[in-house]
Amino acid sequence: MEISVDLTLSPLQNDYEKHVINFIKALRDSKFKVLENPLSTQIFGNYDELMPFLTKEIKRSFEDVDISVLTMKVVKTNRSDYEPNF
């Protein structure tokens, strides 16, 4: 089953930017398709492969900070090729 995941990482500390950058770089280095915008990062792939990868990377990111918030939306379809038609 293909999924699309929208992620927003918000470390609650002064040096938040380096933690967000490290998280995005780890996503980029994966085999999955990654799209970025100023508000969030999307990653696309097979559920059984993507979710264990995300679990590992989220845990690694959380271990680097005292307090962090991660907002995640999961859609049951691969929306990486979405183009508005209006």
pLDDT in tens, 16-70: 999 999 999 999 999 999 999 999 999 999 999 999 999 999 999 999 999 999 9
Distance set, CA 1 to CA 23, 57, 64, 76 (Å): 24, 21, 31, 7
Mean pLDDT within 60-82: 97
Q: Which residues pair with 49 in a beta bridge?
A: none
pTM (predicted TM-score)? 0.93
Check residue 31 and give its pLDDT: 98
User: Is the dihedral angle over the CA atoms 72, 73, 78, 79 positive or is it negative?
Assistant: negative
d(CA 27, CA 33): 9
Check residue 63 and give its pLDDT: 97
Banded model confidence at residue 8, pLDDT cuts 50, 70, 90: very high
